[in-house]
Every structure is written in structure tokens, then in C-alpha cells.
Amino acid sequence: MNYLLPSKTDELWRRTSPDNFSFIDSADNSLQFFILTKSISPGIYLLPVNKAFEKYSNIINNYNFNNFSNSIEKFVLDKAREGYFIYVAPDTEINENIILSLNINKNENSLMRNIIIIDKNAKLTLVEDLQDSSIEQLLFTTHIFAEKNSIFNYKRIWKLKRKTYSGVYLDIFDDARVNITTKHELSSLNKIEEKVNLIGNNAHYKGNYANLVYSKGHLDFTSIITHSGRNTDSKIDLRGVVQEKGYSLHHGIVRIEKNAFYSDTYYSSKHLLLTENGKANSIPKMEINNNEVKAGHGSTIGTIDKDSLFYLMSRGLNKKQAEEMLIEAFLNPIIESFPETMFRTNDFNENPIN
């Protein structure tokens, strides 16, 4: 099959040239996965995605993976041999955090495909630590399915130095709740698209994002939220910090369908520029197809407040310390849910997924 890069005239690709990416297959064993937790509770199944298709195809085949939005995602779905699969059985409540560490080997192009299924009345908190230091390319997709009356808390820390494309699909069914909290630390080109489908009635979604763009990093972050069920709720809070010559874009599209009565949504984007050379942009869009909704959005782009900086320096802090404190205060509503001891602590066993 021939794969064609997205068109440069596509609205979602106007600010990031698709020519930055290429269809290069990954080497085997380019990814390593470890569970950093004391034990794995009954009712949760975690294994490499290629083995999951052999062992749990009866579960996976119940879901739609053909809603990809571009040929890069199609390439990953066709070619990726690595990634993880998580399934939480019905009526299973996992009360401890499942901490998953993902390490990408240096100097190799990588493809990754992840699948997460939270079945009916189940509950899971997943913490994902993704790090690499390569100059090569990472393309990956993550499909998440939250079944009726399930609760999924997904906390991610991504520290990426390679150019990356990430496509996330999230289907939320009746009475399910999904909360995603993410901290991105990025210093290269990153194109991230997250598509959230509130399919069921009374489905809820909350997305909190702290995006730190360093050096000459480029972040093009797109959220597409679609309300299809009644009484659905979505709240998006994006906060970006841009250093040096970095660039950050928050592109939000919220769609409320004709029969999605009593939907409630709010999209918020805030940027903090630390230098005169940094750039940021925010593009919120609302597509509302019925009148029985509550919808709003807000966007700000600013710099560190000079009065606050002066006050902190007058209290004995130097300029760098004062700036760091103000940045921390700006991001704290997002990152406060990440305890310092959450990753790589000696209290946990490092168990490879195989």
C-alpha cells in the first residue's frame, strides 16, 4: 500500500509541514516497557500489543480502529509491531496507581500502537512515563475505550527530544468518566492530535495539559471534542510555557451534535512566553448544532508579570528563582496531581512487559 502524507492545505496541517515526517518502519525491540508497581491486581491484563491480538482478539475486535484521520495514523496501525495493551475486566476496581515506564532506544525510528479498554463498571488510574533522547522519529497511536459507568484516570509525563507524531482516540460511553492529565516536556518538532468522542449519555471528559516547549521546540497540539450523547460534559485546560525560540499552538475544535442536548463544554488555553523570541497561538472553535447547550472558551498569551517578579526579588530571591516560582504557580493547577515520588522510586518493582 502506498501512503501519502497529509496535504499542506489541510487546516490541521497548515502550521506544521507534513514533510517533516516520513514513512519509515521501526526496528524490532526499539521500545521497552516496564511496570513500576508493587503488584498487579486481578482483573487487569497488561501485555505487548502484538501478543494481545493473538490472545484477546475476541475483545479487541469489538472496537472500531478505522476512524484514523490521516495516513500517518493508518501507517502506524498497519505497521506497528510494538506498543502495549491494557484491559480492565467488568466490575474491576484497581485502587492503586498502575505506573508504566516506556523507554525508547536511541537512534532508531520507532512505531508504537497502544490500546486501553476499561470495561463496564471498572476503574483504573494509569500513570505513563514516556522518555527518550533520540534525534530520530517516533510515530504512535493510542486508542482508549471507556465503557458504561467506568472511570479512567490517565496521567502522562512525556519527555521527548525526537520529532513525534501522536494520534489519540478516546471513545466514552454511557455514564463513563475519563480524566487525562498530561505534562509535555518537548524540545523538537511535535504534532499531537487528540480526538475525544462523548458517545454515550452522561459521558464526562476532563483534559488538563501542561506543555513546556524548550529551545527551538515546536508543538502543534490539536484537541477535537465531539459531543454526541445527551448531558455530556467536557472541560479542557491547556497551559503552555515557551522558552527561547520555541513555538506552541493550541488548536481546539469542539463539536456538539444535533441531538446532544444539554451538553456542557469549556475550552481554556493559556500561554506564558519567557523570551521575546518565543511564539504562541491559540485557535478555539465551537461548532454547535443545537440550542440546549452550555459552551464557552477563553484564551490568553502573556509574559511573566513584572510586578510579581519584582516583589519576589524584593523578598530575597534572585531573578531565576523568582521566574521559576512564577512558572510553577502558572502550571501548578495541572501538575499538582503528579507526586514527586511517582516515578522510578525504590518502593516499586521494575517488571518488564513480555
Q: Which domain holds residue 189?
A: 11-303
Q: Please provide the average confidence, as pLDDT, over all residues in the chain.
A: 90
**What count of other Cβ atoms lies within 10 Å of the Cβ of residue 7?**
12
Angle between helices 319-335 and 306-314 (to 10 degrees): 120
Residue that is last in its domain, among 288, 303, 318: 303
Q: Average the pLDDT over each of 18-27, 82-91, 187-196 and give the range with the smallest value.
A: 18-27
Residue 344 lies in a domain: no
Please indicate, yes or no, whether residues 240 and 99 belong to a single structural domain of this protein. Answer: yes
pLDDT at 345: 35
Please indicate, yes or no, whether residues 90 and 71 belong to a single structural domain of this protein. Answer: yes
pLDDT band at 344 (very low <50, low <70, confident <90, very high): very low
pLDDT at 95: 86
Please tell me the distance from the alpha carbon of residue 149 to that of residue 138, in angstroms, as a whole number: 34
The number of domains in the chain is 2
pLDDT at 340: 56
Position 136 pLDDT exceeds 50: yes
> Which cell goes with 297?
472558551
Please indicate, yes or no, whether residues 81 and 128 belong to a single structural domain of this protein. Answer: yes
Please indicate, yes or no, whether residues 225 and 327 belong to a single structural domain of this protein. Answer: no
pLDDT at 107: 60
What percent of the chain stands above pLDDT 90? 76
Q: Are 252 and 221 in contact (CB under 8 A)?
A: no
Kindly report the pTM of this predicted structure. 0.93
pLDDT at 350: 46
Which residue stretches of 234-318 are H helix?
A: 306-314
Please indicate, yes or no, whether residues 312 and 291 belong to a single structural domain of this protein. Answer: no
Position 347 pLDDT exceeds 50: no
Position 354 pLDDT exceeds 60: no
What percent of the chain stands above pLDDT 70? 92
Contacts of 228 (CB under 8 A, 6+ apart): 197, 198, 199, 257, 259, 260
Please indicate, yes or no, whether residues 121 and 166 belong to a single structural domain of this protein. Answer: yes
Please indicate, yes or no, whether residues 133 and 101 belong to a single structural domain of this protein. Answer: yes
pLDDT at 349: 40
pLDDT at 173: 98
> With b meaning 16 or more CB within 10 Å and e meaning fewer, what string describes 17-31?
ebeebebeebeeebb
Please tell me the distance from the alpha carbon of residue 49 to that of residue 82, in angstroms, as a whole number: 6
35 compared with 101, residue with greater pLDDT? 101
Residue 342 lies in a domain: no
Residue that is last in its domain, among 277, 303, 329: 303
Question: How large is the C-alpha radius of gyration of the chain?
Answer: 20
What's the rounded mean pLDDT across residues 17-34?
81
Host H or E run for residue 71? helix 71-79
Please indicate, yes or no, whether residues 281 and 316 belong to a single structural domain of this protein. Answer: no
pLDDT at 336: 81
